[in-house]
Amino acid sequence: MAFNLYYYAAPATFYGLAGRLIPWFAWGAAVLAVIGLYIGFFVAPTDFQQGEAYRVIFIHVPAAWMGMFIYLVMAFWSAIGLAFKTRLSFMMARALAPTGALFTFISLWTGALWGKPMWGAWWVWDARLTSTLILLFLYIGIMALWAAIDDRNRGDKAGALLTLIGAVNVPIIYFSVQWWNTLHQGASIKPSGTSMDEIMLTGMLIMAFAAWFYAIAAALTRVRTLILERERHTDWVKRILEP
């Protein structure tokens, strides 16, 4: 295991590995999304409380999970990068941020469109929504910081530090529905079980896997570009660049 890890942690080998993995994750995401949407729209029944409006859940919850999860993965790579100065770690963090921001935006957007018919408001300043908005601003702030610092190593470190500080926000988002009074409904899935109808849950989980696969494919695509850029003086990249 350790051998493999070091082997693939080298940008040159990881570039090739990522290139082989991307089509699998991309097609996996597409197939899962088709199955998930089919279940979501044609198999899952109408909700007895929310009618058809609840069908937003099949993107809202997976997107919200991915927004938080990608941030945690970014924080993980930032910590590894700061601790061990591994080149690939910082590139992974940079590659993940835009996709994390995208999913957070989707969760806010779909939340607004779900909130309007259910709560009568597009937006309320409660803990869950506000902390999720802060998550989006964190993503944007970290990306702006990277863009603003010309020195790559300093940018990596500054971004990693901000990512780690911002990580406290993720548990706040997750537990906000328990800690504070809110319009937002509680977690649909808890360690003690779920309150959801089984087929609705199945559709939502399949969509969550689709989002997960998509995020992996997107981040790997982005990290390959970063690797080329940063390793451009090495022989193996020069060989790729040969016409």
Partner 1 sequence: MQWASWSDFWAMGGYGLYVWGSYLVTFVAIVLEIILLRHGRKDTLKRLRRMRRWEEQ
Distance CA 139, CA 101 (A): 6
Residues in contact with partner 1, counted by CB under 8 A, come to a total of 37
Q: Is 113 in the site for partner 1 (CB under 8 A)?
A: yes
Q: Residue 14 or residue 214: which is nearer to partner 1 going by CB? A: 214
Candidates 7-15, 82-90, 173-181, 228-236 — which segment interacts with partner 1 by CB under 8 A? 228-236
Q: Which of 110, 131, 132, 169 binds partner 1 (CB under 8 A)?
A: 110
Min dist. Cβ of residue 74 to partner 1 (A): 17
Read off the DSSP letter of residue 167. T
- Binders of partner 1 among residues 58 to 87 (CB under 8 A) are 59-60, 63
Q: Which of 2, 45, 120, 148 binds partner 1 (CB under 8 A)?
A: 45
The tokens for 238 are 């020069």
The tokens for 159 are 């971004």
Please provide residue 34's backbone torsions phi and psi, each rounded to the nearest 5 degrees.
-65, -45
Q: Is 121 helix (H, G, I), strand (E, B) or coil?
A: coil
Distance CA 120, CA 197 (A): 25
Q: Is 94 in the site for partner 1 (CB under 8 A)?
A: no
Dihedral over Cα of 189, 112, 213, 95: its sign: negative
142 CB neighbour count, 10 Å cutoff: 25
- Binders of partner 1 among residues 175 to 214 (CB under 8 A) are 214
Q: Is 99 in the site for partner 1 (CB under 8 A)?
A: yes
Cα dist from 17 to 28, 134, 220, 227, whole Å = 17, 34, 10, 12
Q: Which of 18, 91, 102, 138 binds partner 1 (CB under 8 A)?
A: 102
Q: Give residues in contact with partner 1 (CB under 8 A).
A: 41-42, 44-46, 51-53, 55-56, 59-60, 63, 98-99, 102, 105-106, 109-110, 113-114, 116-117, 214, 218, 221-222, 224-225, 228-229, 232, 237-238, 241, 243
